[in-house]
Amino acid sequence: MATLAVETKLPAWADELRRRYLRGESSQFVLHGNVHDLILYAGKLYALSEFLSQVLLERTKDTVALYNLSTGVRFAKRKMELSGYEDLALAKEPAKVLPALERALTTQDKFALIIEYADTIAPAGDTSFSTTDDRSATVTLHRWSLMRSLEKSDSVVILTLENLSDLHPKLVSNPRVATVQIPIPSKAERAEILRYLEAGSAEDVERLAEITAGLKLIQLKSLLAPPEVGPEEDRQERKDYIVELLAAGTTLSADHMERAEKLASMTQGMTKEAIRKLIAPDGKPARAPDNSRAEIDRLIAARKREIIERECFGLIEFVSPAHGFEVVGGMDEVKKDLLQIADNIRQGRRSRCPMGMLFTGPMGTGKTFVAEAFAKECGLTTIKLKNFRSKWVGATEGNLDKILSVIQAIGQIIVIIDEGDRAFGNSGDGDGDGGTSSRVIGRIKEFMSDTENRGRVLFLLMTNRPDKLDVDIKRAGRLDRKIPFLYPQTAAEAIAVLQAQFRKNQVASEVVFPRDEKLVTPLIGYSNADFEAVVLLANDYASSRSPDAKVSAADFERASHDYLPSRDVKMIEYMELLAVFEASNRRMLPQKYVNVSVDELQAKLARLQAEVGSRR
């Protein structure tokens, strides 16, 4: 068998395809994942099909044909005669093209066929609902994978598509079809294209390669070297506006012009308001030359966020926490543990980092608030998973694969999943949705337990009903730390929460502790959200006297007496006991639970479960 070799080092995925072909593992391959990106090879940028036909296959194949539904068949290289293969030139429909291609594959030696957008030729779905043409195309491609004549003639078929779940499962599960994933570019690959684009000094390249994690090469190129497709006056108008922001009334300098030139290219398509927020977010644009890097980094981070959110179709949301632990009251042991984890992540001590954490406790205990504060303390990229489930067959799995590939590429990332019981619950066997739920949960479990992600990807699940979570997802190695969040149990805890609420909401107060400790006694057992509501109500009472009035002890006492919390006592007690039962460290428990035996706790849980366990 001939090789698919070239002198310059191949990308890892291309080298894998080459080695598997040489081993005789298959003559039919499926390339999936980052198939619409650029490939930088030997100082030149290629699209995937160009790279396959002009680099990987050009020397060893006499004929290289490419086919998709839109353009039909075209040849990157052709030795064969087209006489007798008129259908290849005149038709686009698979029903006519595939038989002609099969004749070429079985009669020609060293024939390479690249089928682009393979999911449109043999789409996933229930066979009984597929068209005759779809079923015929699937069977044809399946038969090709079993044809030993392809191997003997040194021919190869390569299918390309983005989401593997969009291809018919008969092909994906076929042992004679080898699948190879093209990942999102690594840091080294990003650095290589940054050097190619002449993005700056070695130090600049290293810095930019780090902050552009998760972006594709084609996105990097459009971001750092965008083509000017609009009128020249639009670019000049942007440049003039940026100069105005940078100079801010000072003497115009060459530095201002140089920075404005670069920023004008990178802000193509952005509104003036968006440009202002990036360059002068606080109304005070950076004027010193040393800050030009900060401007570029801030702009790239914002464009990266915009690009990835759009790429993921709104399936994820970037979190930009505005607060750290300085506004989190109480929970000293929890904050101590989380700060240690944050430090381990920043210092790269991966073996000391948990794979994931579970925040559990009744509603209103500050789980989301603390999660965002933790993200701020870590200083890591933080995203929230949104609803990625779809009613379309295979779309949910495809959405999940896209999200996980982005998470994997970004690295050093916190993934927040709120209401984890709804996202990954065990309510039902999954048969009602064709097994989608079980496949999704299985894929999540697989990703969460991959030890390569330790210290790089930290999952943070939050729920007030951990009993609704799939049991296996809660095990050590997936969610190593389980942290209980409970309502304040003592006056000291209540005071800490109250003071944090005054700081968070920037409410001026005359209330002083421990002098006014008696004011918090009626609030013990309230949730953090209830404390905030009381503080804001007291502030309203103070402002009714005077807009600048501080909250007095009388205002606070009136608010705490007037406020009526929404209470479901039995459900809250049940959620509290669940949080205590799930806790992975006894020292994080309130004093009243420290010495409660497991048997006693289970008895209480069983009693409450019988009463309220079936409720949401």
What's the confidence (pLDDT) of residue 376? 86
Domains 12-183 and 317-484 share a fold: yes
Using the predicted structure, report yes or no on whether residue 4 has a pLDDT greater than 60.
no
Give CA–CA dist 355/478, Å, rounded: 5
423, 452, 413: which is closest to 315 by C-alpha? Answer: 423
Please state whether the peptide bond connecting residue 514 to the residue before it is cis, i.e. omega within 30 degrees of 0. yes
CA distance 593 to 591: 5
Angle (CA) 582-416-485 rounded to 5° is 35
- The CATH number of 317-484 is which of 1.10.4030.10, 3.40.50.300, 3.40.50.1820, 3.40.800.20? 3.40.50.300
What is the mean pLDDT of the segment spanning 56-82?
89
- Confidence band for 434, pLDDT divided at 50, 70 and 90: low
Query: Which two structure tokens, joined as six digits, stand for 425?
Result: 């619950």
What whole-number distance in Å separates Cα of residue 21 and Cα of residue 26?
6
- pLDDT band of residue 288 (cuts 50, 70, 90) is very low
61's CB contacts (< 8 A; 6+ apart) are 77, 110, 111, 112, 154, 155, 156
Closest listed residue to residue 587, CA positions, set 478, 465, 474, 484:
484
- Angstrom distance (rounded) from CA 271 to CA 404: 31
Distances (CA, A) of 20 to 29, 165, 186: 9, 22, 22
Confidence of residue 289 (pLDDT cuts 50, 70, 90): very low
Nearest to 393 by CA among 141, 161, 127: 127
- Write the CATH number of the domain with boundaries 12-183: 3.40.50.300
Paired strand residues for 159: 30, 115
Please say if the pLDDT value at position 248 is more than 70: no
Domains of the chain by residue range: 12-183, 188-308, 317-484, 488-616
Q: Is the pLDDT of residue 83 over 70?
A: no
Report phi then psi at 283, rounded to 5: 80, 0
pLDDT at 378: 83
Mean pLDDT of 453-475: 87
* Selection from 129, 134, 151, 162 nearest residue 33 by Cα: 162
- CA geometry: angle 221, 224, 227, nearest 5 deg: 70
What values do phi and psi take at 595, rounded to 5? -100, 10
Residue 76 region by backbone torsions, left for phi larger than 0, else alpha for psi between -120 and 50, else beta: alpha
Distance (Å, whole) CA 307 – CA 312 = 9
Give me the pLDDT at residue 82, please: 67
pLDDT bucket at 45, cuts 50 / 70 / 90: very high
479: exposed, middle or buried (C-beta count within 10 Å: 0-12, 13-18, 19+)? buried
Residue among 245, 329, 338 at smallest CA distance from 292: 245
Phi, psi for 58 (deg, rounded to 5):
-60, -40
- 8-state DSSP, 55: I
pLDDT tops 50 at residue 5? no
Each residue of 8-31: pLDDT tens digit?
A: 789 999 999 999 999 988 999 999
**Residue carrying structure tokens 């599960």:** 173
Q: Please give the pLDDT value at position 123.
A: 92
> What is the 3 state secondary structure string of 70-100?
CCEEEEEECCCCCCCCHHHHHCCCHHHHHHH
pLDDT at 332: 82
Model pLDDT, residue 1? 47
Mean pLDDT, rounded, of the chain: 83
Are 470 and 426 in contact by the 8 Å Cβ rule? The answer is: yes
Under a CB-based contact definition with an 8 Å cutoff, are residues 106 and 151 in contact? Answer: no
Find out whether 224 and 194 touch, Cβ atoms under 8 Å. Answer: yes
Model confidence at 292, pLDDT cuts 50, 70, 90, reads low
Segment 312-340 shows an average pLDDT of 82
The predicted model gives 31-46 an average pLDDT of 94
- Is residue 152 pLDDT above 80, yes or no? yes
- The reported pLDDT for the residue numbered 516 is 85
Under 8 Å between Cβ of 128 and 173: no
Contact 141, 99 (CB under 8 A): no
Identify whether 169 is preceded by a cis peptide bond (ω within 30 of 0): no
Residue 387's identity, in one-letter code, is N
* pLDDT given at position 567: 73
Q: For the chain, first and last CA: distance in Å?
A: 62
Per-residue pLDDT at 528 exceeds 90: no
- Band of the pLDDT at 130, cuts 50, 70, 90? confident
Q: What integer pLDDT is reported at residue 375 of this predicted model?
A: 87
- Does position 255 have pLDDT exceeding 70, yes or no? no
Interval 487-509: pLDDT, tens:
888 888 888 888 888 988 889 99
pLDDT for 290 beyond 60: no
The average pLDDT across 567-572 equals: 82
pLDDT of 391 above 90: no
Rounded to the nearest 5°, which phi and psi values hold at 407? Answer: -60, -45
Token look-up 């057992």 returns 525
How many other CB atoms are there within 10 angstroms of residue 302's CB atom?
Answer: 17
Cβ burial, residue 264 (10 Å; 0-12/13-18/19+): buried
Banded model confidence at residue 297, pLDDT cuts 50, 70, 90: confident
